[in-house]
Amino acid sequence: MGATISRAAESGADLVLGNTLPKTFEIVMIGLDDAGKTSLVNRFKRRDLPLPATVTTIGTTIKTIRFGRHRITVLELGGADKIRPLWRRFFWNGHAFIFLVDASAPERFSEAKEELGRMWGEISKKHPILILANKMDLKGAVGLDEVAEALGVGGLATGRTVAVKGVSAMTGKGPEEVLKWFVENVSHQLIAEHNEVKKHTGTCC
């Protein structure tokens, strides 16, 4: 459910290797408070099991997921307004990014748009970004086209790999497709380049 709005060119190595070699990479996930970030991370690990009860994330949560032959670490950042200025300190960790929005709370879309715009300005165009509309199962949830328009995604996507997809962390619909998207769009070349910069500088683009 969803579509890729913009996609950067693939490297020669990835056109040859595709996803035949295992990948190890990190996703940084941000979004407003109550968007469902912790539930989604739990669903990545418990795709066929009931979700545990969650509490509001105050700082960060890190979980590593085995997905087929791939090893994916998800760094979830708390979404309270007092924490958001700290997000940028963690962006250097990510090979790729999730911005999670509550599709059932359109009254907060303008707030989410503002935070997404700040994130966009901090992250290199090399890094794939997935805009996820969570809680698509709830009454009042809006469609993906409306989410994308409200967040101004089309005007930000030029020159980078960006997609908008819908998920429901509670029902389990969508998270597997999310992981597949990242495996397909986080290239071996990006992983190598990002890791090399981090090794020498402790930061990345």
**Distance (Å, rounded) from C-alpha 58 to C-alpha 103?**
22
Chain-centroid distance, C-alpha 193 = 20
Per DSSP, 115 falls in state H
Q: Residue 191 is inside which H or E element, if any?
A: helix 188-201
Tell me if 137 is assigned to a ligand binding site. Answer: yes
Tell me if 35 is assigned to a ligand binding site. Answer: yes
User: What 3-state DSSP class applies to 60?
Assistant: strand
Assess contact for 163 and 153: CB atoms under 8 A: no
| Partners of residue 24 on adjacent β-strands | 71
Tell me if 38 is assigned to a ligand binding site. Answer: yes
Tell me if 32 is assigned to a ligand binding site. Answer: yes
**Distance (Å, rounded) from C-alpha 193 to C-alpha 179?**
21
Tell me if 33 is assigned to a ligand binding site. Answer: yes
Tell me if 135 is assigned to a ligand binding site. Answer: yes
Tell me if 57 is assigned to a ligand binding site. Answer: yes
Per DSSP, 48 falls in state T
**Alpha-helix residue ranges (DSSP H) falling in 46-143:** 109-122
List, as residue ranges, the binding site.
31-38, 57, 79, 134-137
Residues annotated in the binding site for Mg(2+), as ranges?
A: 38, 57
Output the known binding site for GTP: 31-38, 79, 134-137
